[in-house]
Amino acid sequence: MGKHKFKTEVSQLLDLIIHSLYSHREIFLRELVSNASDALDKLRYLTLTDDDYKGLPFVPRVDVSFSQGGEGGDGKILTVADSGIGMSEKELTENLGTIARSGTRRFLDELTKSKDGGGADTNLIGQFGVGFYSAFMVADRVEVLTKRAGESGAWRWSSDGRGQYEVAEAERDGVGTTVTLFLNEDGGEYASQWQIEAIVKKYSNHIAYPIYLHTTEPQGDTDQSDGKETKDGKEKVEQINAASALWTRPKSELSEEDYVEFYNGLGHGDEEEPPLHYVHTRAEGTLEYTTLFYIPAKAPPDLYYADYRPGVKLYVKRVFITDDEKELLPTYLRFVRGVIDSEDLPLNVSREILQQNRTLAAIRSASVKKLLGELQTLTNNHERYDAFIEQYGRPLKEGLYQDFANRDALLELVRFRSTEQEGLTSLAGYVERMKEDQKAIYYITGERSANLAASPLLEVYRSQGLEVLIMDDEIDAFVIPSVGKYQDHELKSVNRTDTADDLGTEQSKEKAKEIGPLLRRIRGVLGDQVKDVKASARLSDSPSCVVADESDPTASMQAVLKAMGQDAGEFKPVLEINPSHAIVEKLRDTDDDDVIADAGHLLLEQAMLIEGVALSDPVAFAQRLNRFMSRALS
């Protein structure tokens, strides 16, 4: 009991919310109603599955009321109450004094970044699960009165959001939670029947429990609706939401607006940007279940965090089970939002059982196939599918590595840039454009598509009219070698030694023999900095390039391994030298060992820079370059 200081991250969060977030304040009500619904879900679950709670009276509902305050509108109040599970003193402190999720720091970074970008995104609040604090956008002070199911005492939490909160013993008639907002000047507009009804219908119409709005009719009003008399008039109580599980209704009864409205109510959407796509499925037969999945138009900000928040809720016979289970869909589909409702799982299914349950595994497998099938259909709309790839192309590639059972379907969905095609291309599109005698699909990996398109490694392919896929996502170098083939065509990396060997001409092979002695001298100069020095069949304009040996990771793959915390060692390349280049021809004829030493290092170092590999000794590189320029100028 007594006064407490907020944890540092909560204070930072409140400061950002109170002083930086101005647009879409109305989402505070969505978040409070969503929290109330979660509390009702938890108590409903316990009354059905736990003997200690089965005899507890439970009438699930959310009640919203408001007061217009005194003269001039001062002292406006808005209250959201529920008959849910409530909180103990410990839970009250843990839930409202601290943000337990390890993603808090990232959330604050995202919020700050959004603010600095000129458009603070209140939608982030719902995505990171800290919705309660949005109340401070519209309130000078917030009080929470709560009584935990199964406990006799109640507690009151209160704060003005300025660094401290207070917890004290209190009284409450029944179990549940009441949140009271003492509205500030900007929040006063929400003490309005019209505003509350509009916001609830917009975001919370399909909350599964009834939401009642309490209003007061002036004395003498002729309306005969049920209510109780107050000193100001008769209190009217009216349900303002549909309170039905939308996913259980036939698709023929639902409109586009219904689906978008429900999506917004999930707390992951932005009402100004409807979902990119949705799919509603009802399965009957051996297994009975319903799924309603959404693909957001924009990727959630925690998409690449290990502690990402799952977007799919699990229900059993319309009873909420969990929204924090990452096993409901594979991780590469973690951007999907929505609902799975099973008729066959037991209500008291535990998380441990969920992860091994055959019924859920079958639902998951069928759901993945359905989602990938929907994405394949979406490929027919190039503009929308390009928008999807821009947001989720990388997670799909993760699926190539993770989901062998659906790899063929995923190979049809991934997209890449190309040396011959504007925009993005599929592997199927590449195969259609292949030359008649071409057997392999060629690709290059590395950073920045513009740099890769200009890479010396592509010179022989360009001269022979061979298309090369440009894979500039860091995950490509790791994933694509694990795939190996598309249909009957081998996927061959141009970053490797063996790829261009069969493309050399008889003339280039003769030239290669002529520079044998020079190659041996350069190999001696470079020592263990390289795995080998050889004549190149792939170069026409550049003097040198570096490639990975057939059995070694490429430079870009090593970068991925290091980012994953694995000791990948130093990139030890094969240096390939163009026997026809003017620089190489002049070096072949020189006896100056110092020139050979400097030139050998420079040929390696410039090739490494082009490949995007940081030089281990940039000072020595600069000194060599200066010596070479001095010789040229003299």
Paired tokens of 70: 């005194």
The answer to whether the CB of 608 falls within 8 A of the CB of 615 is yes
Q: How far apart are CA 34 and CA 38, in angstroms?
A: 6
The backbone torsions φ and ψ at residue 146, rounded to the nearest 5 degrees and listed phi first, read -145, 145
Helix ranges (DSSP H) in 527-615: 555-563, 582-588, 593-610
Q: What angle do CA 36, 40, 41 make, to 5 degrees?
A: 115
Q: Higher model confidence: residue 345 or residue 149?
A: 149
Give the H or E element holding residue 127.
helix 123-128
Kindly report, residue by residue over 347-386, the tens digit of the pLDDT: 777 666 777 788 999 999 999 999 999 999 999 999 999 9
Give the H or E element holding residue 574.
strand 574-577
**Which positions ≥6 away from 413 have C-beta within 8 Å?**
372, 375, 376, 379, 396
Contacts 24+ apart (CB under 8 A), 374-383: 374/277, 374/279, 375/413, 376/409, 376/412, 376/413, 378/277, 379/412, 379/413, 379/426
What pLDDT is attached to residue 614?
A: 84
Domains annotated on the chain, with CATH: 2-223+231-241 (3.30.565.10), 247-378 (3.30.230.80), 414-501 (3.40.50.11260), 504-633 (1.20.120.790)
In this predicted structure, the answer to whether residue 613 has a pLDDT above a threshold of 90 is no
Q: What is the pTM of this model?
A: 0.74
Give the range among 150-164, 247-261, 388-402, 495-509 with minimum mean pLDDT: 495-509
Sheet with 441-445, strands from edge to edge, namely: 417-418, 468-471, 441-445, 489-493, 485-486
What pLDDT is attached to residue 425?
A: 95
Helix ranges (DSSP H) in 420-493: 427-433, 449-453, 459-463, 476-483
Kindly report, residue by residue over 513-552, the tens digit of the pLDDT: 788 899 999 999 999 999 999 998 888 899 999 998 877 7
Paired tokens of 171: 């009284």
**Which positions ≥6 away from 476 have C-beta within 8 Å?**
397, 416, 443, 445, 556
What pLDDT is attached to residue 524?
A: 94
What pLDDT is attached to residue 127?
A: 44
Among 50, 31, 35, 27, residue whose Cα is nearest residue 92 = 35
What's the sign of the alpha-carbon dihedral 322, 324, 327, 331? positive
What is the number of H-type helices and E-type strands within the chain?
Answer: 21, 23
| Beta-sheet pairing, 468-471 with 441-445 | parallel
Give the best-scoring range by mean pLDDT among 131-135, 175-179, 226-230. 175-179
Residue-by-residue DSSP string for 145-181: EEE-TT-S-EEEEEE-SSSEEEEEEE--SSSEEEEEE
